[in-house]
Amino acid sequence: MHTDLYLDWSEKAAINAEQLAQEARFLSDAKRSARAYYLAHMAIEESAKSILLWAMGPTMLGDELPRLSALLRNHKKKIEFVVSYAASASPELAAQLGELQPKLISHINDLKNETMYVSVEDAQVIMPSDRVAKIDVSQHLSVAEGLADMARKLLTNASTRRAKSHARDA
């Protein structure tokens, strides 16, 4: 019963991650780099949630849902997990992550927030577009797309196994 809940949650998170990555690509193509970065980052987090649910869900008991939910709200832990998992599971993603890996973890919330809001620093007003001007947003987009694809593929296999199991039980 609980396994189905976690797999359903994981599948929907994978679908959402793919949609966020696609929307990030649209914004990037429209030269909206700050928002493209933001959505790419959100796609990475949603992929992390999907993969965590896929990996942990089958072993979780119903009364552990609050602990799992708390873990999923910890942005840094999700990114640490997905970056490590992806780097070890896929040589292609490991190459894409490259030097981006420590940056994803070290400034996880700062840059995400800075790409949405105007701020003041050293008596200067800073636009979100200024924050991402020095960032290779396309690299973040590629990672977001790769992780969303990984999450979807993991879930496709899990759904197939689940369907076969339900068919045997019927």
Q: What is the CATH number of the domain that holds 67?
A: 1.20.120
Domain that holds residue 150: 2-169
For 9-42, the pLDDT digits (tens) are 899 999 999 999 999 999 999 999 999 999 998 9
pLDDT at 123: 94
Determine contact, residues 115/131, Cβ cutoff 8 Å.
yes
pLDDT at position 51 over 60 = yes
Range ranked top by mean pLDDT from 2-6, 32-36, 132-136: 32-36
For 74-114, the pLDDT digits (tens) are 777 777 787 777 777 777 877 777 767 766 666 666 677 77
pLDDT at 35: 93
Determine contact, residues 50/14, Cβ cutoff 8 Å.
yes
pTM for this model (two decimals): 0.80
Please give the span between the terminal C-alpha atoms of the chain, in angstroms, as a whole number. 15
For residue 19, the SS3 value is helix
Rg (CA), the chain: 17
Number of domains the chain is built from: 1
